[in-house]
Structure 1
Amino acid sequence: MHTLLASLLILLALAAPAHAAPCGGDFNAFLATIGREAEAQGVSRRVVDAAFAGVAEDAAVLAFDRRQRGTFQKSFEQYAATRVSAGRVSRGKQLLQRHAALLGRIERQYGVPPELLVAIWGLESDFGSGDMGSRPVVRTLATLAHDCRRTELFQRELIAALKIVQRGDLPLRDMVGAFAGELGQTQFLPSSYLKYGVDYDGNGHVDLRHSVPDVLASTANLLRTNGWQAGAPFTEGTANFEVMREWNRAVVYRKTMALFAARLAAR
C-alpha cells in the first residue's frame, strides 16, 4: 500500500493550489471552503453535499500518518523475500496466461511488458484479491487536508476524489481505500486516477476497483506517460528503472518489482 503516495508527495506539493483553504480551525467551516473550491472546478453542489454529509475527522488516519516511518527499513533481500513468495509467483503466472490477450494488447499500445504489470498488480493488492483498503476516501482525505502538515497536497487529492465521483467513474459507496486515500487494485491516489486512468473495457467509466482491463491499462499508461521505453530493460541502472520512480521512489521497491517480473517471465 501507499505506493503512489510515496512516489508523488514531492510532485504534488509543488503543484499545490496557490490559494489553499486555511487548515486547522473548525472542521465544518474548512469543508465548506473546500466545497466551494470544488464547485469552482466543476464539481456539482449535489456531489459536494453527498460526499461531505456526516463527514468527521478520522483520528485513526491522523495517528497512522504521525507514526509512519520510512517504509523500507529492510534490505532488498529481506523485503523481497516477504513480497515475492513462491505462491504469489505461481498465482501471477496463472494470471499472465488467463489475461494473455489483454496484456498483449496493452503491451502493443503502451510498451509495458505483461510480467511487470502483473508484478505491480500482485505487490499492490495481491492481484485484486487482497487489501485495497476499507476507509472512506473522502473522510480520509478531508482529515489529512484539514491537518496543517501537508494541507495543500491533500486538499488537491480531496478535490480530485470529488471529481472522480462527479465524472461517474465510481459511486461514493465505492470510494474506499487506504490510509492516504489510495484507490483500487494498483493503489492510485485520486489525482493519478484522473490523470492516468484509462477506460480500457469501454464501458464509459474508469473503474480501478473492479475492472481488470482498466486497472492494467491505467498502470501501463502511468509508466508510458512518464517516459517508459518499450522493449528496453528495466533493471537497476536502466532508464526504465528511473521511470519506475514515478511508481515508487524507493530503490528497494523498484528492485522488488523487477525481481517479481523476472520470476514471472521465467519458464
Structure 2
Amino acid sequence: MRLLSAFVFGFVLLSAPSAWSASCGNGPGGFEAWKQSFIANSQSYGLKKRVVESSLKNVKYNKKVVSLDRNQKSFKLSFNQFYAKRVNNAMIRRGKQLGKTYARIFRGIEKKYGVPAPVLLAIWGLETNYGSFSGNMPVLQSLATLAYDCRRSDFFTAELVAALKIVQGRDMQPAEMKGAWAGELGQTQFLATSYVRYAVDYDRDGRKDLIRSIPDVLASTANYLAQKGWRRGQGWGPGTANYNVLKQWNKASVYVETISVMAGQISE
C-alpha cells in the first residue's frame, strides 16, 4: 500500500492533530525538542505516556527518510515501463503456486470478504514479492521524522499516532516494526492508520500480525478492499466498480493497472 508523492490514498485520522501542535522543522536541529513535546502531550492522542516514552526513547531524526520523501520517481514511468520493471514471468508462476499452496485460506477469505485470490496475490507480489522483503527501516523512527518534517506533518503525525496505538494494543513491539521508508508495515505494506482500522486476526492467535502471519496478511488485505466497496463475484478490469476500489489501494494509475493485469495473468 504505497505512499508516494501526490498519490496519497485515503486514510483515517485517528486523533485530530489540532489536539496538540508542535513546531515542525526542516532539519534535525529541533527534532529532539519536538519529540519531547510529543511525548509530554501524548495523552491528547489517546496514548499512554509511558508507552510513547518507551517506544520513542531511542528514536532519532533520519536524514535518509527525508531525502527519500523528496525524491520519488517510480510513478513517472508509463504503464509498460512500470509493469516491465515490477513484474516478470517468475512472479506470475510464483503467484500461481502460492495460490495452490494456500488454496484453503484463499477460499475462506473469498467466502468471507468476497475478494478472489488472484487480486490478493497480485497485491502481495507487487508490494513485497510475496513477503520476501517488506522493508528493514525502523517504522517509528521514519514516522517520527516525517511527522516532525514540515512537508506533510499532519499526515505523518496521524500515522505515528496509529503506529503507537499498534504498540499500545500489543499487536507488535517497537523493535518488530520494520518496514518501508514511509512507515508501511507488513507483507502488503499497510500504513499504520490502515493497520489499526482494517487488520484482522484471521489465524486467531490473539494478534493482528501483518509481518509474519500469512493468513492475517491476506485476510486484512481482503478486508481493506471489502470495506472500500469490493463487489463480490465481479471482475476487476478498467471500467469496473472493483477497479475503482483498487484505486483506493493506490491512486497511481500505473500501479492500479499493474495489479489488474497481473491478477488476470495469475488467474489464467
Pairwise same-fold verdict (TM > 0.5): yes
Q: How does 1:161-240 map to 2 (within 5 A)?
A: 161-240=163-242
Q: How does 1:110-189 map to 2 (within 5 A)?
A: 110-129=113-132, 131-189=133-191
Going from structure 1 to structure 2, the CA distance change for 1:220 and 1:7 (only over 3 Å counts) comes to: farther
Q: How does 1:23-42 map to 2 (within 5 A)?
A: 23-24=24-25, 26-42=30-46
1:105 counterpart letter in structure 2: G
Q: Which moved more, 1:2-11 or 1:54-63?
A: 2-11
Q: What is the match of residue 49 of structure 2?
A: 45
CA distance in 2, matches of 1:207, 1:14: 22
Q: What is the match of residue 8 of structure 2?
A: 9
- Deviating above 6 A after TM superposition, structure 1's stretches of 4 or more consecutive aligned residues are none
Going from structure 1 to structure 2, the CA distance change for 1:168 and 1:8 (only over 3 Å counts) comes to: farther
Percent identical residues: 46
- Residue-by-residue CA offset, 1:149-187 (whole Å, 9 max, x unaligned): 111111111111111111111111111111101110000
Match of 1:201, SS? coil
Does the alignment pair 1:252 with 2:254? Answer: yes
CA distance in 1, matches of 2:112, 2:199: 15
Q: Is the 8 A contact 2:9 2:251 kept in 1?
A: no
Match of 2:157, SS? helix
> How many aligned residue pairs are there?
263
Q: 1:103 aligns with which of 103, 106, 116?
A: 106
Going from structure 1 to structure 2, the CA distance change for 1:38 and 1:9 (only over 3 Å counts) comes to: farther
CA distance in 2, matches of 1:209, 1:64: 23
Provide TM-score, normalisation by structure 2: 0.92
Provide TM-score, normalisation by structure 1: 0.92
Q: Is the 8 A contact 1:34 1:155 kept in 2?
A: no
Q: How does 1:26-105 map to 2 (within 5 A)?
A: 26-69=30-73, 71-105=74-108
CA distance in 2, matches of 1:13, 1:68: 24
Q: Is the 8 A contact 1:4 1:247 kept in 2?
A: no
CA distance in 1, matches of 2:68, 2:187: 21
- Specify every segment of 5 or more residues in structure 1 that has no aligned partner in the other structure, as ranges: none
Q: Is the 8 A contact 2:12 2:194 kept in 1?
A: no
Deviation at 1:245, TM superposition (A): 1.1
CA distance in 2, matches of 1:55, 1:226: 34
Q: Is the 8 A contact 1:17 1:156 kept in 2?
A: yes
- Specify every segment of 5 or more residues in structure 2 that has no aligned partner in the other structure, as ranges: none
Deviation at 1:135, TM superposition (A): 1.0
2:2 counterpart letter in structure 1: T
Q: Is the 8 A contact 2:237 2:243 kept in 1?
A: yes
Deviation at 1:56, TM superposition (A): 1.2
1:226 counterpart letter in structure 2: K
CA distance in 1, matches of 2:3, 2:242: 17
2:42 counterpart letter in structure 1: A
Deviation at 1:31, TM superposition (A): 1.3
CA distance in 2, matches of 1:48, 1:135: 19
